[in-house]
A and B are shown apart, each in its own frame.
Chain A
Amino acid sequence: MIPQLDYAFYVWSSYGLFAAIMAWQFIQPRVRRRRIIAELREELAMQTGNYDDPDA
């Protein structure tokens, strides 16, 4: 299934780097958006007094 290639280390390292960078470009903005939205929700809840502490 996995092709047997010459210079396998160099070829697979390149494809691995590609996969890692694409995954980072997909994941990082989503993680950042979740963090911003969580902060905004908290600010909004504090302002409206409608604050449900999930740990309470």
Chain B
Amino acid sequence: MIFHRLKVGFHRLGSPPTFHKLCRVLSPWLWAGFLVCAAIGLYQALYVVPPDYQQGDSYRILFIHVPAAWQAMAGYVIMSILAVIALVWRIRTVEIMTMAAAPVGAAFTALCLATGSLWGKPMWGTWWAWDARLTSMLVLLFIYLGIMGLYAAFEDRRKGARVACILVLVGLVNIPLIHFSVEWWTTLHQGATIRLLGESRMHPSMMSPLIWMTVGVKLMFGAALLDRARNDLIDQDRRKNWIRQLIGEGATGDNA
């Protein structure tokens, strides 16, 4: 029974008006969740947790850097799952979501690289090193940009999305490289400090803001993804009746 409902719900998401409604309803809640989590996380990161005994206050950058890095990689994995669904079942709304994930993922990757540099300068004495972790993260940014560029290069959006989905799956090989780079090669970048399984090497007092920020950026990723997907859907369906009706109904533009 539950499986049947899930299956029906999944198929309904393929309907553009239903998908549009879902984006419109869900996005403000996700943004609100992000604001709450970020407010708590930032307050704790700047006011509550003590300075590190070796790094002083510079370690507070990690409350931005680490969630951004995790989200850059998690966003890519989500995009790859969507790409498989888009290629196998050819659901247009999923194609749109896959392509909408790329600019958000690219933003998190850029944020991760920039904050890493800002931490590296005072701690390592350099803005950048051609270290395996940093380089593989830079490659991830180029893959995201490549996906966006490839999608934009096609006049036929659906064809562009399908070709870009293949590139998404090719680029997936970079994710384990990023994750294991600190174990496989000798890197300037430190090894894993926080572990899902096993004991973390980070002091427990510093974990709370990290968790709030991580949850916050995940909610923000979802919100930004739905916002962008909604725009692409409206843009692609601009000649269709359901959009015309929507524009006609929402005199203030709120419904669209």
Contact = CB atoms under 8 A, between A and B. Distances in A.
Interface in B189-220: 220
B231 A10 contact: no
A3 B111 contact: no
Interface in B220-234: 220, 224, 227-228, 230-231, 234
Interface in A18-49: 18, 21-22, 24-26, 29-30, 32-34, 36-37, 39-41, 43-44
B227 A30 contact: yes
A36 B231 contact: yes
A26 B228 CA distance: 10
Nearest to A31: B231
A22 to B, nearest CB: 6
Contacts of B46: 3, 5, 15
Contact of A7 (B56, B107, B115, B228): B56
B90 interface: no
A6 interface: yes
Specify the main secondary structure of chain B where it touches its partner.
Answer: helix
Contact of B121 (A10, A22, A33): A10
Contacts of B231: 29, 32-33, 36
Given A17-B111, A18-B64, A37-B256, A10 B228 contact: no
A26 B122 contact: no
B238 interface: yes
B70 interface: no
Contact of B247 (A6, A34, A37): A37
B119 A10 contact: yes
A33 B23 CA distance: 13
B114 A5 contact: no
A36 B56 contact: no
Contacts of B256: 33, 37, 40
B176 interface: no
B253 interface: yes
A5 to B, nearest CB: 4
Count chain B CB atoms within 10 A of each CB in A11, A30, A33 and give the residue with the most. Answer: A11
Nearest to B68: A18
Interface in B3-24: none
B58 A25 contact: no
A21 B235 contact: no
Contacts of A33: 227, 230-231, 234, 256
26 contacts: A5-B46, A5-B56, A5-B57, A6-B56, A6-B57, A6-B58, A7-B58, A10-B122, A11-B57, A14-B64, A15-B42, A17-B111, A17-B118, A22-B34, A22-B220, A24-B107, A25-B107, A25-B220, A25-B227, A29-B227, A30-B227, A33-B230, A33-B256, A34-B253, A36-B231, A36-B238
Given A5-B57, A10-B118, A44-B244, 7 more contacts: A7-B56, A14-B118, A21-B107, A24-B107, A29-B228, A33-B256, A34-B253
